[in-house]
Amino acid sequence: MPGRIQLVIDCADPDRLAQFWAAALGYELAPAPAGFATWNDFYRELGGPEEDLVDGSDRISDPEGHGPSIWFHAVPDAKVVKNRLHLDIHASGVRTDPIETRRNRVDAEARRLADLGATFTGALSEEGLNHYAVGMKDPEGNEFDIN
């Protein structure tokens, strides 16, 4: 039986990305494990070095328990190339909805995420296709799409 997955995103500022992605995905900041006041207390119990501890949150989870948990792992290396993996946020509705309705929903979600700190990279549509999406980057430059 396959196990549950955790998505790990390397970053410079885990708290900033945890806050952004929790708001973007409708997730919540993950509570510390039972018996621990904070995640840092838990990491210390595991023997993690103090220099690896971060201020603020570094994990988010789906409050419904359906989606994967996401851990924002602090790393010293800056992002320098395109992601090999990215998230797609589905905001357009069903394909039977008119393309203009779907486009308006995608654009509204892109504006909402831009207000949270994302940047717009461009529309991802081709003439003649019944599809519309936009490319964006999170506050640390990780690419994602809204469709």
The pLDDT value given to residue 35 = 94
CA dihedral 16, 18, 19, 21 (to 10 degrees): 120
| pTM metric for this prediction | 0.85
Helix (H) or strand (E) holding 108: helix 99-115
Consecutive 10-residue runs of the chain (147 residues): their mean pLDDT? 81 94 96 91 86 87 94 87 87 91 95 97 76 94 94
> Whole domain around residue 112: which residue ranges?
87-146
The pLDDT value given to residue 127 = 60
Domain match, 68 and 92 both: no
7, 70 in Cβ contact below 8 A?
yes
Q: How many domains does the chain have?
A: 2
The pLDDT value given to residue 80 = 82
The pLDDT value given to residue 77 = 85
The pLDDT value given to residue 126 = 66
Domain match, 111 and 58 both: no
The pLDDT value given to residue 48 = 81
Specify if 97 maps to a domain: yes
